[in-house]
């Protein structure tokens, strides 16, 4: 999955990252992995300008 | 399977708990010597004991051959002090002798490192020669002050033995239902992060029928940026222990344990000292103060696993299993330590419970609102002009905390991570709209958690910060559930690729 993303373009695939984060948020047993998406999603939401060169929206 | 192990471990019990035994064995020998004997003693397989042992970072040979450990918590990372510190230590001790530990609770001064069982921070690195020689050096303390309208956690109502005895005398003849009622009336919710009403937890456990029950104090404060539990354990140990004894009295338990993380050697020392003082004064042990109530306390020293802050993992750890999270329900109040009803409370919750009993529940519930009542300890890191731990009324605006109590920032800051590595990253302008309130934070998409504040400076790369968070969760995930085991590692890989690319192009 990641190799494919890599061979296309080596940026962070946002859609995939979001899916992973939501899976973790919903599917984890406890708060450690279930809540770690919170700060990441906050950063993606509020600091998208800073990250725009490192991310591709569609993958 | 784990039920069997819990019961086998419970056969020997808390006093000689398997976790402490296997830590001692591992720390005192270089090979597998004694594993078989230990497994035989507890009637378990060698693989079970070995499996548990290999879970903990401090017990691994790769960790034990290091001499000093540099703090790699978020606060120290944002302050950017650790690279130079690591270099200095490597020069003194050898290149491969410096490891890392996650947050030593010195977020207010940074430059934190652990050497030979002690924590050092701030200017201490300049005295490294003295430290290596084994001389004792004078260390700076954190600043603490109460800004609360009534202080519940920082007052001196339980600071000496006489006060402790007087209050215990009073409460051990008070009706248990009355104590639960006053906790329920106070609207105290758990301070560890989940925020479950404490009165309800004690009530549930007191109503569960069992010959044996346990009180567990969760002092595994791994959240980077937080040192409020450390403050309570070191400065208000009697308040925490008072909370535990009263909890034991209310739920009908005669044994309790404090699970203190190994990164806090001073806290362990302080609590150990207080327990001994109480035992000598007859305030712990058999029939306390001539009543029928007996209560004993033990300490478990954590071995560097962040996950042990989660209650079911903490219980598994004490039992000597791998510290993996269990599915809830059953909740610990019905099936906890050694499968017996157990109350697991955070340090601050227990201290607050003691504070409420001493000061009255109406005063506590009068502050804040129903779901976020009373006072809360808030930790501010070194980016503030006045770093330290403060007791603050719930409902106080974050603007006031940042500008008045914290005295503003030393350097430009763009965001605050509030509530440890799992809490939200709040941009400064958003933070100024919020108040110190659990619900308000959740509605805005953040989490108040432990109310520790780590400042992210303006020039800090956010990609780097995301990478730090994934690295942390990949390292500390217990590996029990599938998304938690795979997720952080895959995400980290994805980021590493991007980072490598950035390096190539710059």
CATH number of the CATH domain containing B431: 3.10.20.600
The verdict on B421 touching A (C-beta cutoff 8 Å) is yes
Asked if B502 lies within 8 A of A54 by C-beta distance, the reply is yes
Q: Does a cis peptide bond (omega within 30 degrees of 0) precede residue B329?
A: yes
Instruction: Kindly report the three-state secondary structure assignment for every residue of B8-20.
Output: HHHHHCCCCCHHH
Q: Among the three residues B133, B166, B191, which one is the final residue of a domain in this structure?
A: B133
| B428 touching A (Cβ < 8 Å) | no
Record: contact B481-A29, CB cut-off 8 A: yes
Q: Tokens in use for B281? A: 């004064």
Q: Which of B473, B495, B500 sits opposite A33 (nearest CB)?
A: B473
Assess whether B257 and B392 both reside in one domain.
no
User: Do B395 and B435 form a contact (C-beta atoms < 8 A)?
Assistant: yes
Q: Do residues B234 and B252 share a domain?
A: yes
B494/A17 touch (CB, cutoff 8 Å), yes or no: yes
Query: Domain boundary residue among B365, B394, B423?
Result: B365
B270 and B382 in a single domain? The answer is no
Mean pLDDT on A28-50: 92
- Report residue A59's pLDDT band, with 50, 70 and 90 as the boundaries: low
Q: What are the Cα distances from residue B402, in Å, to B124, B143, B434, B479? A: 28, 16, 11, 37
φ, ψ of residue B120 to 5 degrees: the values are -130, 155
- Over 50: is that where the pLDDT of A4 sits? no
Closest-CA residue in chain B for A19?
A: B487
Sheet holding B118-120, edge to edge: B98-101, B68-71, B113-115, B118-120
> Among residues B102, B103, B125, which one has the least CA distance to residue B115?
B125
For residues B217 and B283, membership in a common domain is answered with yes
Total number of domains in chain B: 5
Quote the pLDDT of residue B12.
Answer: 93
Evaluate whether residue B269 is within a structural domain. yes
- Whether residue B347 sits in one domain with residue B203: yes
**Per-residue confidence (pLDDT) for residue B367, from 0 to 100:** 96
A58–chain B nearest CA distance, Å: 15
Helix ranges (H only) for B117-209 are: 128-133, 161-171, 176-186, 198-207
B228 contacts B453 by C-beta, under 8 angstroms: no
Residue listed under structure tokens 């976790």: B19
Same domain, B186 and B203: yes
Nearest CA in chain B to A6: B497
Q: Give ipTM to 2 decimals.
A: 0.91
- B113 by DSSP, 3-state: which? strand
Q: Which residues lie below 8 Å from residue B4, measured CB to CB, with a gap of 6+?
A: none
Range of the domain at B336: 144-365
Please give the residue of chain A at the shortest CA–CA distance from B307.
A32
Q: pLDDT value at position B500? A: 65
Partnered with residue B304 across adjacent β-strands are none
Question: ∠B489-A28-B302 over CA atoms, to 5°?
Answer: 75
Question: A7 pLDDT exceeds 50?
Answer: no
- In angstroms, the CA B497 to CA B487 distance is 16
Are B380 and B483 members of one domain? Answer: no
> For residue B443, what are the contacts with CB-CB under 8 A and spacing of at least 6?
none
Segment-wise mean pLDDT, segments of 10 residues, chain B, 506 residues: 87 94 90 90 93 93 92 95 95 93 94 94 93 89 94 94 96 96 96 91 96 96 93 96 97 96 95 97 94 96 94 95 92 95 97 96 95 95 96 96 96 95 94 94 93 95 89 90 86 74 54
- Is B139 inside any structural domain? no
Partner-chain contact B422 A38, CB within 8 Å: yes
In a domain? residue B138? no
In a domain, B226, yes or no: yes
Q: Which of A12, A34, A45 sits opposite B494 (nearest CB)?
A: A12
- Assess whether B9 and B127 both reside in one domain: no
- CB-nearest to B193 from A31, A43, A45 is A31
The answer to whether residues B241 and B105 belong to one domain is no
Cβ distance B498 to A11 less than 8 Å, yes or no, reads yes
Distance CA B506, CA B494 (A): 19
Q: Give pLDDT, residue B442.
A: 94
> If contacts are CB pairs under 8 Å, which of residues 7-46 in chain A contact chain B?
10-13, 16-17, 20-21, 23-24, 27-36, 38-43, 45-46
Per DSSP bridges, beta strands B452-457 and B413-418 are antiparallel
Whether the per-residue pLDDT at A10 is higher than 70: the answer is no
pLDDT per residue as tens digits for the range B399-416: 999 999 999 999 999 999
């Amino acid at each position: 999955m990641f190799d494919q993303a890599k061979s296309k373009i080596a940026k962070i695939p946002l859609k995939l990252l979001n899916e992973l984060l939501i899976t973790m948020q919903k599917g984890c047993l406890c708060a450690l992995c279930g809540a770690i998406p919170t700060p990441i999603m906050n950063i993606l939401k509020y600091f998208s300008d800073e990250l725009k060169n490192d991310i591709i929206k569609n993958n | 399977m784990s039920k069997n192990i819990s019961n086998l471990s419970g056969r020997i019990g808390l006093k000689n708990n398997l976790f402490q035994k296997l830590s001692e064995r591992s720390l005192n020998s270089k090979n597998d010597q004694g594993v078989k004997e230990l497994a035989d003693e507890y009637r378990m397989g060698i693989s079970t004991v070995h499996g548990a042992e290999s879970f903990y970072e401090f017990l691994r040979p790769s960790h034990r051959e290091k001499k000093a450990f540099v703090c790699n918590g978020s606060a120290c990372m944002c302050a950017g002090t650790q690279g130079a510190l690591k270099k200095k230590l490597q020069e003194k001790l050898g290149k491969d002798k410096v490891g890392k530990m996650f947050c030593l609770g010195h977020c207010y001064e940074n430059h934190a490192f652990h050497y030979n069982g002690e924590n050092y921070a701030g200017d201490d690195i300049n005295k490294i020669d003295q430290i290596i020689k084994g001389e004792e050096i004078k260390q700076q303390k954190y600043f603490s002050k109460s800004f609360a309208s009534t202080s519940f956690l920082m007052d001196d109502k339980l600071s000496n033995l006489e006060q402790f005895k007087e209050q215990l005398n009073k409460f051990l003849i008070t009706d248990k239902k009355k104590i639960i009622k006053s906790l329920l009336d106070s609207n105290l919710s758990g301070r560890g992060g989940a925020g479950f009403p404490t009165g309800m937890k004690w009530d549930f456990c007191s109503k569960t029928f069992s010959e044996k029950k346990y009180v567990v104090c969760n002092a595994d404060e791994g959240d980077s940026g937080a040192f409020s539990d450390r403050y309570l354990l070191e400065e208000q140990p009697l308040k925490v222990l008072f909370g535990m004894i009263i909890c034991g009295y209310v739920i009908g338990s005669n044994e309790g344990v404090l699970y203190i993380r190994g990164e806090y050697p001073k806290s362990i020392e302080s609590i150990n000292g207080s327990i001994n003082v109480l035992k000598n004064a007859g305030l712990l042990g058999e029939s306390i103060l001539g009543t029928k109530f007996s209560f004993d306390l033990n300490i478990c020293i954590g071995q560097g696993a962040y996950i042990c802050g989660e209650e079911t993992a903490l219980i598994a750890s004490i039992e000597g299993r791998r510290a993996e999270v269990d599915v809830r329900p059953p909740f610990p109040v019905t099936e906890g330590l050694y499968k017996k009803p157990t109350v697991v409370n955070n340090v601050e919750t227990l201290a607050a419970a003691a504070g409420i009993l001493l000061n009255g529940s109406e005063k506590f519930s009068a502050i804040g609102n129903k779901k976020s009542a009373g006072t809360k300890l808030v930790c501010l890191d070194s980016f503030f002009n006045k770093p330290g731990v403060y007791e603050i009324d719930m409902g106080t605006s974050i603007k006031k905390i940042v500008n008045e109590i914290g005295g503003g920032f030393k350097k430009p800051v763009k965001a605050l991570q509030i509530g440890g590595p799992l809490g939200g990253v709040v941009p400064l302008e958003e933070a100024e709209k919020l108040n110190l309130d659990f619900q308000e934070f959740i509605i805005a998409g953040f989490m108040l958690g432990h109310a520790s504040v780590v400042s992210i400076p303006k020039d800090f790369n956010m990609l780097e910060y995301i990478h730090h968070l994934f690295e942390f969760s990949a390292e500390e995930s217990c590996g029990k559930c599938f998304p938690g085991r795979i997720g952080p590692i895959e995400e980290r890989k994805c980021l590493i690729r991007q980072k490598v690319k950035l390096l190539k192009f710059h």
